[in-house]
Amino acid sequence: MEAIRLKRALEIIDQRSESGEPIPFSISFMTFGKRVDRVHLATAIKSKLPGHLRSNPFLVGVRVPINSGHDYPVHTRLITEINGKTVTY
């Protein structure tokens, strides 16, 4: 499997179209709550973090673009894949 550096993965997450809309990507990451789970979103876009998490520079918000109503706060060091490529550090 092809590898990608974390810096490039974060650039992919931040990409926007010419009209300013976020560009969809696929992402896999580990959760960091009471349980440890691997989450895979086949289609995701960048979203805003809830206010109490915005001060953490290691978190990014992602969500499924179809009105899912659920934003995932993702720790950047727990991203394992983006667009089918393994993320390395």
How confident is the model over 60-81, as pLDDT tens digits? 999 998 876 788 899 999 999 9
Strands 3-5 and 85-88: what pairing? parallel
Phi, psi of 37 (to 5 degrees): -130, 155
Q: Which residue has the higher pLDDT, 24 or 33?
A: 24
pTM confidence score: 0.89
The pLDDT tens digits for 10-26 are 999 999 999 999 999 99
For residues 20-35, give the mean pLDDT.
Answer: 92
Tokens at 71, concatenated: 């934003």
AA identity, residue 64: V
User: Which 3 state secondary structure label does DSSP give 5?
Assistant: strand
Read off the tokens for 46.
């960048």
Residues shown for the chain: 89
